[in-house]
Amino acid sequence: MAEEGYPPKLDKEEKRRRHEQLSKRNVLCLRKCLHFKGEGYFAKESYPPKLDNLKSGGGKHNKKSEQDRLFSQKGETAVAYKLLALNIDGTILKNNGRLQRETKEAVEYVKKKGVYITLLTSRNLLAARKVARALKLESELITFQGAIIGKSLNEKLFEELIPEERTFNIVQVLENFNCNIRLMHERYSLGNRKKVKKNLVVKTVLSSGDPFFYPTQFVDSLGDVLMDEPLAVPKIDVYFASDAERDEAAAVLAKAFSTIDMIMHPNGKMEIVPQGVSKLAGLRRLGHYLGISLKEMVVIGDGIDDIPAIEAAGLGVAMGNAPAEVKKVADWVTRSNEQLGVAYMIKEHFRKQQRPEFLRKLKMKR
């Protein structure tokens, strides 16, 4: 060794081969650091993660691949997201309806990054406003599946209602089926007392609102009430004993009314909204108002009705408690609502993102 000298002289081919080996080792190490044992970026992949199998670019939304997003220079996110849309039930709230301290802290954390935060929910505006106050949000809220967008009932950005006559006609059709009907007015709800199978489940769902903020009244016949007191509503909730009965009623409604949309849920639930109303349409409207495109938005949800918005957003996130259909279209699968999935996702992703003001100053210095 003394005669050859130290370090040994390497030819160009040997240097290139050793450099490639070192680069591969570094990439594997980085992948291991980003693999959260079944939670987070590679929730459905085994180790090492197969990046090509994750949702990537191409298609109508032209998203960047997950590999480009994760392995961008200096560990920074490729896109500076400007809006975060959060579903309420099953997402930011636990199953007992409580809002955890960690979730509040995470929302405050991302607010300080200059990100606009909204709630994206099928709930009424009064109930959503109550949750927003707990999160210290003063933003526009997307409620009633997107039929009403606003900060309060007196400050609406958008509103689309099912007209009085159409509401009455829809109720007339539904009263021929064995179902619970709930007319969702902006200030209260009006429901029928008709019993269906699984009535305990239906009662739990129908009484989930806060009676002080959003009272509910039950009557024997909605049709009779509407003849005397017509009502235009942003949404109608209907509960059936089974999905088959729900689908039968939906087929009749589809033939009779061309100006409504129906949103199907598991366990025989159906929501009726004005045509063109959806959570995704609500996001588009709010984005247009704020000057923020869909690709600059992050959407976190857990329901079937969240799928279009999750799929269209720049970064779509499914909760760990979401059905398989939701997880399939998401870019990111976080922990469940019981495991503080929203707080986990925000801390893991947005910690890399700087405030827009900071980035602008940095560009000016350069």
Q: What is the DSSP string of 226-255?
A: HHHS---BSEEEEEESSHHHHHHHHHHHHH
Model confidence band, residue 9 (pLDDT cutoffs 50, 70, 90): low
Q: Looking at per-residue confidence, does 49 or 203 come out higher?
A: 203
pLDDT in tens, 189-232: 999 987 776 544 444 444 445 556 689 899 999 999 999 999 99
Task: Tell me the whole-structure pTM to 2 decimals.
Answer: 0.76
Task: Please report the pLDDT score of residue 55 as a whole number.
Answer: 36
Exposure on the CB side of residue 344, measured as CA atoms within 13 A: 19
Residue 24 has pLDDT above 70, yes or no: no
Task: Please report the pLDDT score of residue 17 as a whole number.
Answer: 65
Residue 297 has pLDDT above 70, yes or no: yes
For residue 155, the Cα-to-chain-centroid distance in whole angstroms is: 23
Task: Please report the pLDDT score of residue 154 as a whole number.
Answer: 94
Report the percentage of the chain scoring pLDDT > 70.
70
Residue 353 has pLDDT above 60, yes or no: yes
pLDDT in tens, 82-114: 999 999 999 999 999 999 999 999 999 999 999
Long-range contacts of 35-44 (CB under 8 A, 24+ apart): 36/348, 39/320, 39/333, 39/334, 39/335, 39/344, 40/332, 40/333, 40/334, 40/344, 40/345, 40/348, 41/66, 41/70, 41/332, 43/320, 43/327, 43/332, 43/333, 43/334, 44/327, 44/333
H or E segment and range at residue 11: none
Mean pLDDT (whole number) for 60-67: 37
Residue 28 has pLDDT above 90, yes or no: no
The whole-angstrom separation of Cα 206 and Cα 108 is: 32
Task: Please report the pLDDT score of residue 18 as a whole number.
Answer: 58
Report the percentage of the chain scoring pLDDT > 90.
66
In the numeric block, the tokens 């903020």 are attached to: 213
The whole-angstrom separation of Cα 251 and Cα 243 is: 12
Q: Looking at per-residue confidence, does 360 or 341 come out higher?
A: 341
First to last CA, the chain: 50
Q: What is 83-160+278-365's CATH number, 3.40.50.1000, 3.40.190.10, 2.130.10.10, 2.60.120.10?
A: 3.40.50.1000
The whole-angstrom separation of Cα 79 and Cα 296 is: 7
Mean pLDDT (whole number) for 154-166: 97
| 169-173, 198-202, 301-305: segment of lowest average pLDDT | 198-202
- The CATH topology of domain 164-274 is 3.30.1240
Model confidence band, residue 21 (pLDDT cutoffs 50, 70, 90): low
The whole-angstrom separation of Cα 332 and Cα 43 is: 8
CATH 3.40.50.1000 occupies which residues in the chain? Answer: 83-160+278-365
Mean pLDDT (whole number) for 276-300: 98
Mean pLDDT (whole number) for 278-302: 97
Residue 344 has pLDDT above 80, yes or no: yes
Mean pLDDT (whole number) for 48-62: 33
Task: Please report the pLDDT score of residue 299 as a whole number.
Answer: 98
Residue 269 has pLDDT above 60, yes or no: yes
The whole-angstrom separation of Cα 171 and Cα 106 is: 43
pLDDT in tens, 123-153: 999 999 999 999 999 999 999 999 999 999 9
Task: Please report the pLDDT score of residue 78 as a whole number.
Answer: 53
Q: Looking at per-residue confidence, does 25 or 349 come out higher?
A: 349
Model confidence band, residue 270 (pLDDT cutoffs 50, 70, 90): very high
Task: Please report the pLDDT score of residue 16 as a whole number.
Answer: 65
Task: Please report the pLDDT score of residue 68 as a whole number.
Answer: 36
Task: Please report the pLDDT score of residue 351 as a whole number.
Answer: 83
CATH 3.30.1240.10 occupies which residues in the chain? Answer: 164-274
Q: Looking at per-residue confidence, does 251 or 26 come out higher?
A: 251
Task: Please report the pLDDT score of residue 12 as a whole number.
Answer: 63
